[in-house]
A = this chain, B = another copy of it.
Amino acid sequence: MSVKNLIVGQSGGPTAVINSSLYGVVSEGFNHPEEIGHVYGMINGIEGFLNGTVLDFQEALPGEKLSYLKHTPGAYLGSCRYKLPESLEDPVYPELFKKFEEMNIGWFFYIGGNDSMDTVSKLSRYAEKIGSDIRVIGEPKTIDNDLVHTDHTPGFGSAAKYVASTVREITLDANVYEKKSVTIVEIMGRHAGWLTAAAALARKYTGDNPLLIYLPETAFDQEAFLAKVEAAFEKNCNVIVCVSEGIHDADGTFICEYDNSVGTDSFGHKMLAGCGKYLENLVRNRLGVKARSVELNVSQRCSASMLSATDRDEAVAAGVFGVKAALSGVTGKMVSFIRTEDENGSYKMECGLEDVNLICNEEKTVPLEWISEDGSDVTDEFISYARPLIQGIADVPMGADGLPAFVYRK
């Protein structure tokens, strides 16, 4: 068997462990010198590759530096949001495969979400069409946890741990005053509420905050919400409400759209306030209580401060598994996670392989049976599902500057 080179790229939004998957692919690539020559990284995904921006990992991250990927958030290689043309007759395909041939690429890895799996699908189908023996493998990645045919996705566990610990801290912060207050926490998730549901993990005891949790899987009724807040004051004078950015009413109107009709900036453009800001104003005006809102924002996907050791280790394992699968001849598959149990009945995860064509452009939402009937909370089934994924904390080395030591391209 002749030695071929491996290339790996990252695509879509970053996560805390997208570089852990990268570490898995690259380090396992180095383990097979009889089959794999250079391990290349495409800078800014397939779009950057088309523009010829590639690095060689032996030069870019020599020695121990490579292991820093395991705690560095954000996409080390940079990312893109580039969709390959639907038609495999498009000239971009022969252009790409010519480049692969010039670089002697035999193994292609793409780390991303459902849009990125679309790229894996198209490249593997084109390879089959022209009879290329290049192996094309997808590595899952998304804080949204919305990929089908996998128990969960790398990136979700750390984002969930970040959300839960931050909501726990916001609860401590809110509890310092003994005066009625409502804090709205707006969490990422346009269509799938997995990450918002993770706020339930923050509870220290039954009946603790967050007292209300709203996901985009169900319709949001503003009047019912206000009644729920009023009722929640009987449990705690400081009420924490967690909402997905994508909550909408029964007509499908996003809650964040309600204020746009009247709010415009100095240029006459609509001001896009989030649903958290809108609900903060709603609560203050209708209930006459102190209200504030907190948008967790990009830290949900780029903070290494609550890196789940479980998530990190699984992300590395997915990378390693994908390389081994490619070496055994697999192509057109995404590495998936299968939940099993160890001999003690504890959580255990195994990697599997799923047809990437069944995964791309699909979205998995939170099952309705894991959401309480009135849509204001999640059930214990969700807690049991999510709790193992946030276990363990990854040690992030601190540099002499007193801050986390990351690796980066300048």
Query: Which positions in A face B, CB cutoff 8 Å?
Result: 10, 13-14, 44, 48, 72-75, 78-81, 161, 164-166, 168-170, 172-173, 175-178, 201-202, 204-205, 258-259, 261-267, 269, 271, 273, 277-278, 281-282, 285, 292, 294-295, 297-299, 301-306, 308, 387, 390-393, 398, 401-404, 406, 408, 410
Shortest A102–chain B CB gap in Å is 23
Shortest A153–chain B CB gap in Å is 18
Check if A387 sits within 8 Å of B401, measured CB to CB.
yes
Check if A262 sits within 8 Å of B265, measured CB to CB.
yes
In the assembly, what is the distance between CA of A178 and CA of B47, in Å? 11
Q: Which residues of B contact A44 (CB under 8 A)?
A: 177-178
Check if B73 sits within 8 Å of A176, measured CB to CB.
no
- Report how many copies the assembly holds: 2
Q: Which residues of B contact A13 (CB under 8 A)?
A: 176
Of the residues B169, B175, B301, B402, contact of A303 by C-beta under 8 Å: B169
Q: Which residues of B contact A205 (CB under 8 A)?
A: 410
Check if A298 sits within 8 Å of B403, measured CB to CB.
no
Check if A73 sits within 8 Å of B273, measured CB to CB.
no
The residue of chain B having its C-beta at the shortest distance from the C-beta of A390 within the complex is B402
Say whether, besides A263-B265, A271-B277, A401-B387, A73 and B285 are in contact (CB < 8 Å). no
The residue of chain B having its C-beta at the shortest distance from the C-beta of A79 within the complex is B176
In the assembly, what is the distance between CA of A169 and CA of B73, in Å? 7
User: Given A164-B403, A263-B271, A265-B281, list of 9 further CB < 8 A pairs?
Assistant: A74-B169, A74-B175, A165-B305, A173-B301, A259-B265, A262-B265, A265-B285, A267-B285, A390-B403
Q: Which residues of B contact A401 (CB under 8 A)?
A: 201, 387
The residue of chain B having its C-beta at the shortest distance from the C-beta of A267 within the complex is B285
**Can you list 13 A-B pairs, Cβ within 8 angstroms, ordered by A?**
A14-B176, A72-B172, A73-B173, A74-B172, A78-B178, A81-B177, A168-B406, A262-B265, A265-B281, A295-B295, A299-B299, A392-B398, A392-B402
In this complex, the member of A177, A202, A259, A277 whose beta carbon has the largest number of chain B beta carbons within 10 angstroms is: A177
In the assembly, what is the distance between CA of A166 and CA of B391, in Å? 22
Say whether, besides A271-B263, A271-B277, A305-B305, A298 and B173 are in contact (CB < 8 Å). yes
In the assembly, what is the distance between CA of A302 and CA of B294, in Å? 13
Check if A173 sits within 8 Å of B74, measured CB to CB.
yes
Check if A402 sits within 8 Å of B308, measured CB to CB.
yes
Say whether, besides A271-B271, A281-B269, A177 and B80 are in contact (CB < 8 Å). yes
Say whether, besides A78-B178, A201-B403, A266 and B262 are in contact (CB < 8 Å). yes
In the assembly, what is the distance between CA of A398 and CA of B295, in Å? 25
Check if B281 sits within 8 Å of A402, measured CB to CB.
no
Of the residues B10, B259, B297, B301, contact of A295 by C-beta under 8 Å: B297
Check if A204 sits within 8 Å of B408, measured CB to CB.
yes
The residue of chain B having its C-beta at the shortest distance from the C-beta of A285 within the complex is B267
Check if A14 sits within 8 Å of B173, measured CB to CB.
yes
Shortest A81–chain B CB gap in Å is 8
Check if A285 sits within 8 Å of B259, measured CB to CB.
no
Shortest A222–chain B CB gap in Å is 10
In the assembly, what is the distance between CA of A173 and CA of B302, in Å? 6
In the assembly, what is the distance between CA of A251 and CA of B277, in Å? 28
Closest 7 CB pairs of A and B: A74-B172, A305-B305, A173-B302, A390-B402, A79-B176, A263-B263, A267-B285
